[in-house]
Amino acid sequence: MKDYEKTFKEFKNYLKKIEYLNSTEAVLYWDMRTVIPKQGVPYRGEVLSYIGEQKYKLLTSDIMKNYIEYFEGIDDLDPVTKACYLNCKKEYEKQKKIPKDRYTAYVLAASESEAVWEEAKEEKNYEKFKPHLQKIINFQREFIEYLGYDKDKYNTLLDDYEPGITVERLDTIFSQLRDAIIDILNKINESSVKINTDFLMGKFDKKDQEKLSLYILHKMGYDMDRGALAETMHPFTIKMGSDDVRLTTHYYENDFRSALYSCIHEGGHGIYDQNIDKSLYGTLLSEGASMGIHESQSRFYENIIGRSLEFWKCFYGETKKIFPQFNNVPLMDFYKGMNEVKPSLVRTESDELTYSLHIIIRYELEKELINGRLSVDDVREEWNKKYKEYLGVTPKDDEEGILQDMHWSDGSFGYFPSYALGNLYGAQFLHKMEQDIPDLYSQLEKGNLAFIKEWLNKNIHKHGSLYKPEELIKLVTGSELSAKYFIDYLYKKYSKIYNF
Amino acid sequence: MKDYEKTFKEFKNYLKKIEYLNSTEAVLYWDMRTVIPKQGVPYRGEVLSYIGEQKYKLLTSDIMKNYIEYFEGIDDLDPVTKACYLNCKKEYEKQKKIPKDRYTAYVLAASESEAVWEEAKEEKNYEKFKPHLQKIINFQREFIEYLGYDKDKYNTLLDDYEPGITVERLDTIFSQLRDAIIDILNKINESSVKINTDFLMGKFDKKDQEKLSLYILHKMGYDMDRGALAETMHPFTIKMGSDDVRLTTHYYENDFRSALYSCIHEGGHGIYDQNIDKSLYGTLLSEGASMGIHESQSRFYENIIGRSLEFWKCFYGETKKIFPQFNNVPLMDFYKGMNEVKPSLVRTESDELTYSLHIIIRYELEKELINGRLSVDDVREEWNKKYKEYLGVTPKDDEEGILQDMHWSDGSFGYFPSYALGNLYGAQFLHKMEQDIPDLYSQLEKGNLAFIKEWLNKNIHKHGSLYKPEELIKLVTGSELSAKYFIDYLYKKYSKIYNF
């Protein structure tokens, strides 16, 4: 036993308290989204803020500082101990650099801003939200000054969600991706293939939708004995502990695709969180490696698996049993219907191909806003211009335009790129998976999803956040992150469907 | 502004933290009973114990001690400040007197004992549970030594649930009640009235049961914007805050009475908790006055209101709309069916009349066990003897006998009397209510339950635990607690139904 191991054990006992508070926050939050009565919300805010304070105290205490300094002085730390203390150090410094009163002011401003955004969206009135957006951006810029930045101010925000990624790299990767998608879009527009989706509309009983969702989640390997599925307005995944990772979805009775794909998507997140190695418990490393890596898992299941022909070859039968209205729809019509490309205005309703364009637009605007090169007065015009240019569509109002996402209202600048990065990571993982498992597609056709989960568990999930995303992608695939794999995947998929 | 008021304000800010932790515990517990996945339970135990520790620290800190000493030195405190600090003092001293390691050992033993009880109950095997019962009783006796006692050891346990009540008083009150109930039972046995309940059995759809329950809860004045209703194995009420008080029930598809009456019962608890004066928030006094007073509210709504002829005169119509199978059942048959008296073995399934006998049996046994005059070897025989003597029935096995309740397994000795005290308090309140509201029964017949809630709000609920139960009953009714009112109520009700 190395000398420091005893201290590390003590340190983990300390960190466990933070994990207990994380778990507590998760339960309070889940409850707030799923059952809390209307009038219980304000008090819940007070409770959450009290729990948050206790966590802040533990994260920034002298005890924490002493542990960090202790481990900093040791050269031959094992990888887990090293990653653990470095992670704490990063968090400690970040929390210490931002003055507490400024952070409190920001939390207040963000919660106000979120409330105003909701009203403004309903009223389709960007002007109402604009002063709050300005306030939130000011806070972000102020915090970046405290935290410092390298080359581009936006890098500091990116680091919160995707450690290691920079504007420089994103500019390159995203412009390749954007050009490729626009090229494919043009080919699709010129294609003579017309896809029928009429049969996808109808009446889909909620209970039946739930049945199909649970069936697919079970097949994917999401463990219901360590999870739960509830309904909320906006679907999400939340972890109360390694053995308690829950999902939510939303059912629309006129369109069964929404709940189904949000279940598969959240199921991907859930399978990740359920399969992080238990030895990482108590180190604060039993989280996903980054938001981008997390999204890679959800989008891998949702799109690469869940919208593939092989998947539907296997599961169309069960689907028809639950929804007999598809009995007269041939498999290929159904598959194509599920994969129709149609540039649209709302990110969350977009198809697999154009989704990333929605993200790239947001990335390009955020970067400019944060660097002060674009003002809140001009951002709406810029938004509409980019939608016209990339997707050929123009919002008829602010609700389906600049006010559609809540992210800017609650200060999540730097988050959007994770979604597109998830697509890229996912396709790069797929490329490696195809090499490792030669009969991948024939297995998938048989509905054997267990081997996919096994591969992801072994290569990605178990590591938690032991590795940075850039280390992980290299460790798993042997190469650095590249847009190439996703672009190849898109060409291959859509050239078959649209015959180009 | 009095000198101490500033300090009291600070004190309340300190106590608020304890209330936040109470609320947190409530959410964690509710979630554990309603949604947690099977494998999430052990970790939830760890989280709850961490939160409990934080609460313990606040309750027993030197800060707390200093506040208590400060207020102790002031003579002219207003009633709220006085009740608040005295309540904290009592808790502080209690927590301090029991050595922490012994308390931790007890919590562990209780959770083990609970698990064994569950198995033993299923296996109908008291011998399996016996050593654990012995252990729990030993702990109780040890704690009583730490805490001290006056005259009877059992008094110390009673004080946890019903401050001020003593064995001496209970012996008197309960023997009057026991004799009266046995007398009424004899009259019923001799009565020529035979009640038919066949029509109460059938198939009652869960959704329909929920509909009826929600309808009645609404009529009672339980505020759904500040509450929720979920399903659990054992119904309960839980408070996450003044504006978030939730209920659970359990639906049996072959008997609609169970869910309906558990909803009305829990609704009574819920209405109490929802209507404590908000000015008491932050004093730890925004709780019920005692378990007995709390039970008086739930049992008042369940029995005195919910099983009355006037109630059914009004709500039978709506019930028949939801359950048309009653269309051919005359009101009086239905009312009598709902009030059939039938001595039985299981407390939770017993009728309004014999319920208290189940409690009295437990009280008589607990008292002897705690004082060491009855051993765990003999208690089963004693149990069966009393059931034969008071109720004329004999358990065929331990599951429907001595193992039926979980209370002894988790150490809740001293709790049972609250249930019967609730009946007594309730009838005494009714007596006063009848004087205050001359048209009580004609209003009830019209389904106007609002004025009942208003009376209870004004006289009982708003005070929270500002008054001890003995003070409260005197304040509200002008007299000390007496069995007379409940006994009168029982004679009046059952002589009409059974014609004696």
**Beta strand B227-231 pairing with B244-249:** parallel
Q: Which of B154, B29, B144, B50 is nearest to B94 (CA)?
A: B144
* Sign (positive or negative) of CA dihedral A410, A413, A417, A422: negative
Q: Which of A49, A22, A3, A1 is nearest to A283 (CA)?
A: A22
Where does residue B422 rank: exposed (0-12), middle (13-18), buried (19+ CB within 10 A)? buried
Q: What is the spatial distance between Cα B206 and Cα A393, in angstroms, rounded to a whole number?
A: 49
Average confidence (pLDDT) over A309-329 = 96
CB–CB of B166/B405 below 8 Å?
A: no
Do residue B234 and residue B366 come from a single domain? yes
Do residue B217 and residue B239 come from a single domain? yes
> How many separate domains does chain A show?
2
Cβ contacts of B37 on chain A, cutoff 8 Å: 224-228, 243-244, 246
Which of B24, B34, B42 minimises the CB distance to A24? B24
Residues B78-89 have pLDDT tens digits of: 999 999 999 999
DSSP one-letter string for B306-369 = TTSHHHHHHHHHHHHHH-GGGTTS-HHHHHHHHT-----S-GGG--TTTHHHHHHHHHHHHHHH
For chain A, the straight-line distance linking the first and the last C-alpha, in angstroms and rounded, comes to 62
- The pLDDT score that the predictor gives to residue A3 is 84
Query: Can you read off the two tokens belonging to residue A413?
Result: 């600048």
Backbone angles phi, psi at B321, to 5 degrees: -60, -40
In A235-274, the residues whose Cβ lies within 8 Å of chain B are 240-244, 246
CB–CB contact B35 A242 (8 Å): no
Residues A252-299 have pLDDT tens digits of: 999 999 999 999 999 999 999 999 999 999 999 999 999 999 999 999
Q: Does A39 touch chain B (CB under 8 A)?
A: yes
| Cβ contacts from A onto B, under 8 A | 106
Do residue B125 and residue B194 come from a single domain? no
Non-local CB neighbours of B235 within 8 Å, separated by 6+ positions: B247, B248, B249, B250, B262, B263, B265, B266
Query: Can you read off the two tokens belonging to residue B119?
Result: 């198995």
Q: What is the spatial distance between Cα B41 and Cα A244, in angstroms, rounded to a whole number?
A: 9
Do residue A264 and residue A379 come from a single domain? yes
Do residue B68 and residue B198 come from a single domain? no
| DSSP H/E element including B129 | helix B126-147
- The vertex-A33 CA angle with B281 and B240, nearest 5°, equals 25
- Of the pLDDT bands very low, low, confident and very high (cuts 50, 70, 90), residue A1 is low
Which of B28, B225, B246 minimises the CB distance to A27? B28
Do residue B103 and residue B249 come from a single domain? no
**Positions of chain B with pLDDT lower than 70, given as ranges:** 1
Do residue A118 and residue A172 come from a single domain? no
Residue A161 resides in a domain: no
State how far residue B29 is from chain A, nearest Cα, in angstroms. 10
CATH code where residue A123 lies: 1.20.58
Q: Does B42 touch chain A (CB under 8 A)?
A: yes
Which of A38, A223, A244 minimises the CB distance to B43? A244
Average confidence (pLDDT) over A421-448 = 97
- The pLDDT score that the predictor gives to residue B426 is 98
Domain boundary among B151, B166, B199: B151
Non-local CB neighbours of A243 within 8 Å, separated by 6+ positions: A226, A274, B37, B39, B40, B42, B43
Domain boundary among B126, B151, B176: B151
Tokens 């929605």, residue? A358
Residue A87 resides in a domain: yes
Choosing from B19, B25, B162, B266, which is the catalytic residue? B266
Q: What is the spatial distance between Cα A494 and Cα A184, in angstroms, rounded to a whole number?
A: 8
CATH code where residue B417 lies: 1.10.1370.30
Do residue B67 and residue B215 come from a single domain? no
Q: Is B266 a catalytic residue?
A: yes
State how far residue B218 is from chain A, nearest Cα, in angstroms. 15
Q: What is the spatial distance between Cα A394 and Cα A387, in angstroms, rounded to a whole number?
A: 6
Q: Does B27 touch chain A (CB under 8 A)?
A: yes
Domain that holds residue A179: 167-498
Q: Does B317 touch chain A (CB under 8 A)?
A: no
Backbone angles phi, psi at A230, to 5 degrees: -130, 175
Cβ contacts of A34 on chain B, cutoff 8 Å: 35
Q: Which of A251, A244, A175 is nearest to A213 (CA)?
A: A251
Query: Can you read off the two tokens belonging to residue B369?
Result: 């066990």
Distances B187 to A25, A415, B192, B435, B485 between C-alpha atoms, Å: 58, 76, 10, 29, 19
Q: What is the spatial distance between Cα B472 and Cα B476, in angstroms, rounded to a whole number?
A: 6
For chain B, what is the largest distance between any 2 Cα atoms, rounded to a whole number of angstroms?
Answer: 70
CB–CB of A475/A467 below 8 Å?
A: yes
- The pLDDT score that the predictor gives to residue B1 is 66
- Which chain A residue is nearest to residue B46, measuring alpha carbons? A20
CB–CB contact A37 B225 (8 Å): yes
- The vertex-B28 CA angle with B23 and B29, nearest 5°, equals 95
- The pLDDT score that the predictor gives to residue A443 is 95
Do residue B102 and residue B201 come from a single domain? no
Non-local CB neighbours of A392 within 8 Å, separated by 6+ positions: A343
- Which chain A residue is nearest to residue B230, measuring alpha carbons? A35
Residue A46 resides in a domain: yes
Residue in B13, B35, B273 to test binding to A, most A beta-carbons within 10 Å: B35
* Sign (positive or negative) of CA dihedral B83, B85, B91, B96: negative
CB–CB of A472/A288 below 8 Å?
A: no
DSSP state of A392: S
Which of B28, B37, B223 minimises the CB distance to A24? B28
Residue A157 resides in a domain: no
Do residue A260 and residue A384 come from a single domain? yes
- The vertex-B371 CA angle with B370 and B373, nearest 5°, equals 110
Q: What is the spatial distance between Cα A25 and Cα A55, in angstroms, rounded to a whole number?
A: 10
In the sheet that holds A229-231, the strands lie side by side as: A229-231, A244-249, A237-241
ipTM of predicted complex: 0.93
CA B459 to chain centre: 19
Q: Catalytic positions of A, please?
A: 266
State how far residue A227 is from chain B, nearest Cα, in angstroms. 5
SS3 assignment, position B98? coil
Q: What is the spatial distance between Cα A299 and Cα B4, in angstroms, rounded to a whole number?
A: 61
- Which chain B residue is nearest to residue A244, measuring alpha carbons? B40
Distances A16 to A3, A21, A38, B396 between C-alpha atoms, Å: 21, 9, 33, 49
Domain boundary among B103, B134, B151: B151
CB–CB of A240/A23 below 8 Å?
A: yes
Q: What is the spatial distance between Cα B405 and Cα B385, in angstroms, rounded to a whole number?
A: 18
Do residue A243 and residue A379 come from a single domain? yes
Query: Can you read off the two tokens belonging to residue B80?
Result: 């709220």
CB–CB of B390/B174 below 8 Å?
A: no
Q: What is the spatial distance between Cα B214 and Cα B234, in angstroms, rounded to a whole number?
A: 18
* Sign (positive or negative) of CA dihedral A174, A179, A180, A184: positive
CB–CB contact B241 A47 (8 Å): yes
- The pLDDT score that the predictor gives to residue B271 is 98
Residue A155 resides in a domain: no
- Of the pLDDT bands very low, low, confident and very high (cuts 50, 70, 90), residue A223 is very high
Helices (DSSP H) in A35-99: which residue ranges? 41-59, 62-72, 79-97
SS3 assignment, position A394? coil
Do residue B166 and residue B297 come from a single domain? yes
For chain B, the straight-line distance linking the first and the last C-alpha, in angstroms and rounded, comes to 62
Query: Can you read off the two tokens belonging to residue B171?
Result: 């012996």
DSSP state of A251: -
